Amino acid sequence: MTTSNSCNLGVAITKSDTVNFDGTTYSATAAAKAVPAQKVYVGGAGIVVVVFPNGAAVNFTAVAGQVLDLECIRVNSTNTTATLMVALYQV
């Protein structure tokens, strides 16, 4: 069943403390804002440090196979121990 918030594009996540999923770097004053993923799939359990569009970083503990239903622009490499993550988008 398809819902209005289902995602149809997945991009493997490369953890980074500076580069967003779309290749930009975070700036609170930048005219062009990073394109956030709608969800993050976590293949291997661990801590996921997500960065929200406003620049705030938050730690989540995820189990293998969990989908974090949140909008984020990046997963930081520092303190992130989860693996096999995919940024999910609705396009």
Q: Is 62 exposed, middle or buried (0-12, 13-18, 19+ CB in 10 A)?
A: buried
| pLDDT of the residue at 1 | 42
User: What are the tens digits of pLDDT across the range 36-83?
Assistant: 999 999 999 999 999 998 889 999 999 999 999 999 999 999 999 999
- What pLDDT shows up at residue 2? 46
Cα–Cα distance, 47 to 68 (Å, whole number) = 12
Give the whole-angstrom CA distance, residue 74 versus residue 34: 9
Whole-structure pTM value: 0.88
Per-residue pLDDT at 25? 85
The domains of the chain are located at: 9-89
Q: Is 72 within 8 Å of 34 (Cβ atoms)?
A: no
